[in-house]
Structure 1
Amino acid sequence: MAIIESVTLDVPDTAAAERFYTAAFGLDGQVGFRTSDAPSTGFRGYTLSLTVAQPSTVDSFVASALDAGAAVLKPAAKSLWGYGGAVQAPDGAIWTIATSAKKDTGPATREIDGLVLLLGVEDIAASKKFYVEQGLVVSKSFARVYAEFDAGTGPVKLGLYRRRALAKNAGVPPAGAGSHRITIRADAGTFTDPDGFAWEAVRSGLTAK
């Protein structure tokens, strides 16, 4: 079973990116940075999502992201599925912070339950088939709407959404062109998927559950 070890973001200034992500989310190792000026306009076709335990923790991470220089895309609010919001980092990456809980059960923490990479794709069925062929294992699938893969012991879980739906969820128009400005590092090999997302082979010591 393929395991995602981390993702690498193309950013204009790696030192500035490290400062932002440390201050905003306290991430350590799951996200790396590479200097790049590859052209990219509009929606890059993906979001990174932090899942947490309760609404007050969502608010805490949104607040620290804004203090560190992020911009609000969707203010944190209740929805049918829980509570969450979306912000855009100074490097342009879009982050959502969400919980399935609608009420707090205790004080806010800085604990992250999961990191999810959601790719916006044109054809869920075709992309799911492609990834299964690369060694990923489907854990959830809802027709041609959504697919999720087992993360094993890896720190990053992969999900597939329709591009337009993912952009709407992030609060941005779906149009975009140029580089995705992200590379997925995993033990699945080096390849580019049907929607142009690049994967880079690493020797991961992580294992399936």
Structure 2
Amino acid sequence: MNSIDAVILEVADLAAATRFYSTVLGPDSPHLRLRASGEPTTGFRGFTLSLVVSQPGNADALIDAAVEAGATCLKAASKSLWGYGGVVQAPDGTMVKVATSAKKDTGPVTRGFDEFVLLLGVEDVKASKQFYADRGLSVGKSFGGKYVEFATDPGHVKLALYKRRALAKDVGVSAEGTGSHRLVLCGGAGPCSDLDGFVWEASASASASAPLTGTA
């Protein structure tokens, strides 16, 4: 099974991004790396990060920490039919959704999360699903041409596909956007570029990028 070992965000201000993500995720996150980039980009970059937590209190704690560290709140945390959650936009432009299926707290509140999910907004879910299946990713859940979730090895980033416009609507922004995704996926499926221009590199690229503890 091919999984994502880490996600690299390409950011304009490496030092500022390092401070932000270290504050919110902790300095030793195995899922996220940062890389300096001046590639032009505007509007929606076609992806979101999603932190799945165990209870509403944890969602609030993560969202509050993100806002205090400089994020913009796109959707205030609230209850819904599926659970509880909200959306913030990091200072580098990355959109982060924090959500839980639980309706109430059942334990001490922490800023821990259970899953780190990368949602790619794609034009053709079925075609992208086949692209990744051909490169060794195993489908875990599939809902026709609307949503696909790939099976994930423990401790890795979970990959899911969603229609681009539906993903933008889910986080409360316009689907319009141009330029670089400013995102690199590291794992066994790389190196390659998918049908929507999302780039995969070999897993070694993750260790070569700046960890959250540094600003190199």
Which bracket does the TM-score occupy, shorter chain normalised?
over 0.9
Per the alignment, in what secondary structure is the counterpart of residue 116 of structure 1? strand
Displacement of 1:203 after TM fit?
A: 5.5
Letter in 2 for 1:15: A
Per the alignment, in what secondary structure is the counterpart of residue 39 of structure 2? coil
Q: Corresponding residue for 2:52?
A: 51
Per the alignment, in what secondary structure is the counterpart of residue 121 of structure 2? strand
Per the alignment, in what secondary structure is the counterpart of residue 66 of structure 1? helix
Q: Corresponding residue for 1:24?
A: 24
Contact in 2 for aligned 1:25/1:65 (Cα 8 Å): no
Q: What are structure 2's unaligned runs of at least 5 residues?
A: 206-216
C-alpha distance in 1, partners of 2:118/2:203? 18
C-alpha distance in 2, partners of 1:191/1:86? 30
Aligned Cα RMSD in Å?
A: 1.2
Letter in 2 for 1:25: L
1:184 aligns with 2:178: no
Q: Corresponding residue for 1:14?
A: 14
Query: Which piece of structure 1 moves more, 19-28 or 186-195?
Result: 19-28
C-alpha distance in 2, partners of 1:24/1:65? 6
Displacement of 1:110 after TM fit?
A: 1.9
Between the aligned residues of both structures, percent identity stands at: 56
Q: Corresponding residue for 1:89?
A: 90
Contact in 2 for aligned 1:4/1:154 (Cα 8 Å): no
C-alpha distance in 2, partners of 1:179/1:36? 10
Query: Which piece of structure 1 moves more, 29-38 or 54-63?
Result: 29-38
Task: Select the structure with the greater relative contact order (CA < 8 A; seq sep ≥ 6).
Answer: 2
Displacement of 1:29 after TM fit?
A: 2.6
Q: Corresponding residue for 2:123?
A: 122
C-alpha distance in 2, partners of 1:25/1:170? 20
Contact in 2 for aligned 1:48/1:96 (Cα 8 Å): yes
Q: Corresponding residue for 2:214?
A: none
1:146 aligns with 2:147: yes
How many residue pairs are counted as aligned between the two chains?
204
Contact in 1 for aligned 2:88/2:95 (Cα 8 Å): yes
C-alpha distance in 2, partners of 1:29/1:56? 23
C-alpha distance in 1, partners of 2:170/2:41? 20
C-alpha distance in 1, partners of 2:83/2:203? 35
Query: Which piece of structure 1 moves more, 82-91 or 25-34?
Result: 25-34
Displacement of 1:13 after TM fit?
A: 1.8
